[in-house]
Amino acid sequence: MTKTRSQLSPERSFFIFLTAVCTMLICTKSSPLYPMNDWLDANCYKTVGNAMLSGKMPYRDLFEHKGPLIYILHAFTAYISFDSFLGMFFIETAACFFFLRLTFLTVGRISGKYHLWTVPLTALAVYSSGAFCHGDSAEELCLPLILWGLYCVLGPVMEKRSLTRREAFIIGFTAGIVLMTKFNLLGAFAGIILVISVMEIRRKAFRKLIYSAVYCILGTAASTLPFILCFAKNGALGSMLEVYFYDNIFIYGGSSSPVWMNIADGYIFLITFLPAGFALIYLGTAFSLFRKKPLLPVYFGTSLLLSFLMIFAGHPSYQYYPLALAAFVPPGIGMLISSLSTEWKIRIPAAVTNIFTLTLCITGCCLLSPNTYLMKYERSEMPQYKFAELISATPEAKLLNYGFLDGGFYLAADTIPEYKYFCQNNTGLDEMITAQKEYVESGDPDYIVTRSYTRKKEDFPMYTCIAEADFPYYKRLVTYYLYRRDGVTVRGS
């Protein structure tokens, strides 16, 4: 491992960092090149994170169902910028850098050749894909963690040895962080544990297996205990267990579709929204299987299969789901290079190749990223900021995002929601729907925001629709409506 890390000279690290910055500037809507990140999920995270600075706790005070690390990260970014995603841009860039750094090491470890040109090409295949829609997803933030776990086991698999205590601890530690982010992304770690267990059992190295299990558990405890203690101290541990685990497993995770249909749906989403990544994974695994030492493709194939099943088998897919499987792109590239290894008759200087591939990455991201359409808009053109200007006319206005996920209106209005069910998320809980209706019927919110794909207005007693605005979202035109309670105080009227 020391030898592989020595390959990362300061010059190479700077090139990887430059690639990460350029990629994120173009591909994520959290970038300062965009007016805002208008993704509903990202705004849920941001709203909860901002609210944590006011003493509110996720799950207990504001109902949202992702892992606690998501909200803590967004609370941290609120110190950088309360009313924008600038802080998340820095975190996404850091995550991208570590993912690309591990890409360089993984490809080199597998193929025996450390090529910097693989870094921009990996960035292009992953971050310009349709699966990287909007930016600031749990899948994106977990990419370097999953790849780190896969990388740690490369040595034991390739050298046919047991895990060191350090490697076992890192695997447990990274798995714990993923557990606290989005637990259905743990499939790759299930594959890691299965492969290592089978290897140790075949060697009858039961004592080594027990040591590895203990250090893995210690690593998991080290990364999860701070979250447990934090929520317990603030009286929100029970709410976290109920919402994050119970609701996600038994309510959100449930599906009326048969498992085989969900799996087929996931496969279609994978080849549709991560096409280049899928091709690299498939080709690398297929070519490597024909080599005399097929243990690597078996290791990665097992981890990939379990990861795929945990992500897709439980319910229908979303466009960003395949992004978590992009952690297998670097191993795919490494196996492909190793299988097709040959000496080139024409040698091109490394600097020329690196500059060319970085230029290709930047150009490709500009042309292929599904997010760049939003760059052409100014904040003043977006419904969130149009409505915020009207809402600001009422001092300390109470706002309710009604009937859909957080559309970014709390962020634009620079306000913290007063209501536990501040939006309607995808869990579909009856109590959430009932509570939102009761908020409206009580006339407590000063302003209500709704949206419609069919230009259908809501009929709220005591409220008047004062504004509407059309804007594209996921390539569909959405109409947003702003309602004001009759008799609300408005400056200048």
* H or E segment and range at residue 470: strand 463-473
pLDDT in tens, 99-146: 999 999 999 999 988 999 999 999 999 999 999 999 999 999 999 999
Residue closest to 152 by CA, chosen among 299, 301, 251: 299
Burial code (b: 16+ CB inside 10 Å, e: under 16) for 261-277 equals ebbebbeebbeebbebb
pLDDT in tens, 71-108: 999 999 999 999 999 999 999 999 999 999 999 999 99
Q: Is the pLDDT of residue 18 over 90?
A: yes
- What are the distances in angstroms from CA 283 to CA 71, 77, 116, 144, 479? 37, 39, 20, 22, 44
**What's the pLDDT at 288?**
85
Q: What is the mean pLDDT of the chain?
A: 94
Partners of residue 62 on adjacent β-strands = 58
Query: What tokens does 480 get?
Result: 């947003």
Residue count of the chain, please give it: 493
**What's the pLDDT at 1?**
47
Domain with CATH 3.40.190 in the chain: 377-485
pTM of the model: 0.96
DSSP-derived secondary structure for 137-180: -HHHHHHHHHHHHHHHTHHHHHHT-PPPHHHHHHHHHHHHHHHT
pLDDT in tens, 186-202: 999 999 999 999 999 99
Lowest mean pLDDT among 112-126, 226-240, 241-255: 241-255
In the chain, how long is the greatest CA-to-CA distance? 82
Q: Is the pLDDT of residue 298 over 70?
A: yes
- Asked if 42 contacts 136 with a C-beta cutoff of 8 angstroms, the reply is yes
Partners of residue 484 on adjacent β-strands = 447, 464
Backbone angles phi, psi at 464, to 5 degrees: -125, 135
**What's the pLDDT at 6?**
63
User: What is the rounded CA–CA span in Å between residue 173 and residue 215?
Assistant: 9
Q: Is the pLDDT of residue 2 over 60?
A: no
pLDDT in tens, 311-343: 999 888 899 999 999 999 999 999 999 888 655
Q: Within 13 Å of residue 405, how many CA atoms lie on the same side as its CB?
A: 15
Query: What tokens does 175 get?
Result: 């798995």
347 pLDDT band (50/70/90 cuts)? confident
pLDDT in tens, 410-423: 999 999 999 999 99
Percent of the chain clearing pLDDT 90 (strictly above): 88
Q: Under 8 Å CB-to-CB from 387, ≥6 apart: which residues?
A: 409, 412, 413, 447, 449, 467, 469, 480, 482
Please state which CATH number belongs to domain 377-485: 3.40.190
User: What is the rounded CA–CA span in Å between residue 98 and residue 129?
Assistant: 19
The dihedral built from the CA positions of residue 240, 244, 245 and 249, taken in this order, carries a sign that is: positive
pLDDT in tens, 427-444: 889 999 999 999 999 999
Backbone angles phi, psi at 485, to 5 degrees: -70, 135
What mean pLDDT is predicted for residues 145-157?
96
List strands edge to edge, sheet with 476-485: 399-401, 447-452, 476-485, 463-473
**What's the pLDDT at 35?**
98
Q: Under 8 Å CB-to-CB from 384, ≥6 apart: which residues?
A: 36, 38, 407, 408, 409, 411, 412
Percent of the chain clearing pLDDT 70 (strictly above): 96
* H or E segment and range at residue 306: helix 295-312
Q: Are strands 399-401 and 447-452 parallel, antiparallel or unpaired?
A: parallel
Backbone angles phi, psi at 339, to 5 degrees: -75, -30
Indicate the SS3 state at residue 449: strand
User: What is the rounded CA–CA span in Å between residue 323 and residue 23?
Assistant: 15
**What's the pLDDT at 292?**
61
- What are the distances in angstroms from CA 142 to CA 90, 95, 170? 15, 8, 14
Q: Is the pLDDT of residue 344 over 60?
A: no
User: What is the rounded CA–CA span in Å between residue 467 and residue 140?
Assistant: 35
